[in-house]
Structure 1
Amino acid sequence: MGKYTNVLYEKAARMTTVVCGFLFSLFSFVYLYVFQRDVLEALHFSLAHGKTHFAPMGSAVVITLILLLLRWGVNSLLGLKGYIRSLSYLPSFLVLCALTDVGRTVYMSAYHTVWSWLLPVLILIFVVFAYWLRGLYRNQLNTEGSRLGLVNYNLLILFVQCLMTVLVGNTNRAFHHELEVERYLRDREYVEALEVGKRSLESTHTLTALRAMAMAHAKLMGEKLFEYPQYYGVDGLFFDEDSTAVLRFTNDSVYDLLGGKPYVGDKPLDYLSELCYTGRGKYIALDYYLAGLLLDKQINKFAQTIDDFYESEDSLPRYYREAMAIYRSNHSDSVFVRNDSVMQEKYIRYKTRQTEFASPLEEQNYMKREFGDTYWWYFDYQK
């Protein structure tokens, strides 16, 4: 009976080893390839200085295999078994933490990480601790116990290590969105870039500028601009001057796209106006200028610019037509007014709806829900 029990326990131990190995491999691959793909690519670009190509799937597979070998080496050295066998994965999980604990300064020339010294220190501490633990519980580790306990304890230890890795790695949603949009921009997949975080009400300055670049490339600025949060006004068309707030794309990227750099002291709208009216900029600069006027709520100047650059029979994009509806309601006799009866009727319904609420707060909330993707809502409510 005792021999039969030993065989069952050994089978349970082998099964535990296989299951833990499979679960670790699955976690490592999915974590690296799905959740931290862009973070891993950013780290690769920083360390390789952009000189080598990053293969996301290949990298995830190779790293996972290396971490499995590391676990095998650690357990060969320490001989952990029984209820704490899966603790031998800890150095591998620490490597995953080091690879994905990456911040916004990753592209800076002076980038460094505490993991360069922290990782070997933590692994050394773990080895010392594991030797001490093995010596302290030598008899217990060599004693066969409950098969169910063997499986449950090892799975619990593995789960705790997975949770630790997720908590340590970068989980900032805005940062991940920025990296993903940058990737699509580099691959010239502009429509895909505009799908990233589309339903989120959060938006950083960098993400706003990246989306503007994607819309300009896709020639969708007038159709898509106010489908996304615009918290930065005309400044959101350009990147922050703080180098720690931007990633691989900077204002130089925008200037190249528009066709020229601003002169010293130029304000954004002055710079964009000069590009358009002198012909120094590319045609794409006109969309930037019109978007800047809308973001700055300069409706009169916007109408003048539309008249200067568009023929009367030209079909205007959605948000340009919405802006012209505002202009027409204030200047019905102006020569800049275009006859867009459908849009004008929608604007009248919008203005009528504004009068149906008991308080300003209720009005703003309900109007946001019904008209939050219109230029009208931005014009009336966005501070």
Structure 2
Amino acid sequence: MTVTQHIASHGKTFYNPIVGAILITVILQLLQNSIDVFVKIPNRVFALTYFPPIVLLSLISSIRSDVEYNNFAISQWWWILLILFPIYIFIVFFVKRYEPYALQQRNIGVFSQSMWRNLFILFLLFFFVGYFSNNDPYFHKRAKIEHLIDQRQYTKALSVVKTLSHTDSVISMLTIYAAARSNKLTNHLFSYPLVGSSHVMRPLYVHSYLQPDSIILKNTRLSANYQLMGFLLDRNLSQFIRYLPQYYPSKSVLPRYYKEAVRIYSLHLKDSIPSPPYPHDSYYQYYFNK
């Protein structure tokens, strides 16, 4: 819902979980009550009054996982409504038309036929919501990462990144940004899944749903570590060694990844490499795992 509202409003509004949940519940309940008052569906299938609210709930929660930056789009199942609503109207008409001729049923107690029929209808409606809403776990984790970064909870965002089974260029950009903002860029970045090269470090080719491009560019354009880590991501050690003395005159205070890169470069000059195995979160592992 956070991503849906942000993209639909072009970033002008934000989604508050508590307020949003209350408003959505109230609106859906009012819609259900209106159907109950004006349509007067018989009690034996009273659960049908929840069908339009269920469809509306599915609609607003069915954002596509591949939605493009700043381009709102819901799942391409809207055409199903063209089939479902006529069927719904026909069923309601049929039930109301033949209600006076329906057989008398036992409608007292917890084992009444009406209760079980309505529970079955509600079960189908809940299944409808679960099936047609966005249930992509990767998309939900990406949305959570973006929300945490937007709230400046960078460490928590990085914790979610570690749970991903795979990554993409946008998540890589956000991972690098969160690592930089939490002072983990030069010592812990390669412990997280990454794809791409230095091109994914800034929102020039990839874009976040929630984090404005201007914020990322403003906070990183003058960063020396961003430039140096870009060389490491490209495995361009010659450029890294060239610019390193401008920012770190003394090699004794080099961060972990810079020390490892310098060692790789020095050994390359001797036609040698560091002895494996390499720690999984080291630059050695990233550099030689091509």
TM over 0.5: yes
Quick one: which of 283, 286, 289 aligns to 1:378?
286
Task: Call closer, same or farther: CA 1:99–1:250 in 2, change over 3 Å.
Answer: same
**Structure 2 unaligned spans of 5+:** none
Task: Describe the superposition over 1:330-354 as per-residue Cα deviations: whole angstroms up to 9, x where unpaired.
Answer: 347xxxxxxxxxxx9xx54xx1x4x
Partner in structure 2 of residue 200 of structure 1: 164
- Alignment-mate amino acid for residue 247 of structure 1: Y
**CA offsets, 1:52-97, max 9 Å, x none?**
4532111102211221232233233242323x33232211111111
CA distance in 1, matches of 2:230, 2:9: 37
Q: How far did 1:379 drift?
A: 1.5
Quick one: structure 1 residues 379 and 171, their matched pair in 2 at CA, closer, same or farther if it must change by over 3 Å? same
Structure 1 counterpart of 2:122: 158
- Letter matched to residue 317 of structure 1: P
Paired AA for residue 214 in structure 1: A
Bigger shift: 115-124 or 134-143? 115-124
Residue matched to 2:253: 315
Give, in angstroms, the shift of residue 117 of structure 1: 9.1
3-state SS of paired residue (2:253):
coil
Q: How does 1:1-12 map to 2 (within 5 A)?
A: none
1:86 to 47, 54, 61: 47
Greater radius of gyration (CA): 1
- Cα offset for 1:288? 1.5
For the pair 1:294 / 2:257, whether they are aligned, the reply is no
Q: Which amino acid aligns with 1:135?
A: R
Which one of 11, 23, 31 corresponds to residue 70 of structure 1?
A: 31
Compared CA separation, residues 372 and 47, structure 1 to 2 (3 A): same
Q: Which amino acid aligns with 1:377?
A: Q
Counterpart-to-counterpart distance in 1, 2:103 and 2:15: 43
Structure 1 position 187, deviation (Å):
2.3
Hey, what's the Cα distance between the residues in 1 that align with 2:240 and 2:103? 77
More helix by share: 1
2-side partners of 1:381 and 1:313: how far apart? 26
Aligned residue for 2:5, secondary structure, equals helix
Give the whole-Å Cα distance in 1 for the aligned partners of 2:16 and 2:259: 44
Q: Cα gap change, 1:292/1:151 in structure 2, threshold over 3 Å: closer, same or farther? A: same
Moved more, 95-104 or 188-197: 188-197
TM-score (norm 2): 0.80
1:107 alignment partner AA: N
Instruction: Say whether residues 1:228 and 2:192 are aligned partners.
Output: yes
- Answering whether residue 244 of structure 2 is matched by residue 306 of structure 1, we say yes
Secondary structure of the equivalent of 2:106?
coil
Contact 1:222 1:319 in 2 (8 A): yes
Alignment partner, residue 91 of structure 2: 129
Structure 1 gaps, min length 5: 1-39, 260-281, 333-343, 354-366
**Correspondence for 2:219:** 257
Q: 1:190 to 1:151 in 2, by over 3 A?
A: same
Q: Which has the higher contact order (CA 8 A, sep 6+)?
A: 2
The one-letter code sitting in structure 1 at the alignment partner of 2:59 is A
Contact kept, 8 Å, 2:186 with 2:225, in 1: the verdict is yes
Once residues 246 and 96 of structure 1 are traced to their aligned partners in structure 2, the CA distance between those partners, rounded to angstroms, is: 25
Aligned equivalents of 1:218, 1:75: Cα separation in 2: 53
Identity %: 23
The whole-number CA distance in structure 1 between the counterparts of 2:100 and 2:192 is 61
Closer, same or farther: CA 126–331 of 1 in aligned 2, 3 Å: same
Residue pair 2:106, 2:113 contacting (<8 A) in 1 also = no
Quickly say closer, same or farther: Cα 1:375–1:149, change in 2 above 3 A. farther
Question: 2 CA distance for matches of 1:324 and 1:290?
Answer: 12
Q: Tell me which of 122, 134, 139 is aligned to 1:175.
A: 139
> Take 2:154 and 2:54, find their aligned partners in 1: how far apart are those partners?
35
Contact 2:168 2:194 in 1 (8 A): no
Partner of 2:173: 209
Alpha-carbon spacing, 1:311–1:93, altered in 2? closer, same or farther (3 Å): same
2:268: which partner in 1? 330
TM-score (norm 1): 0.62
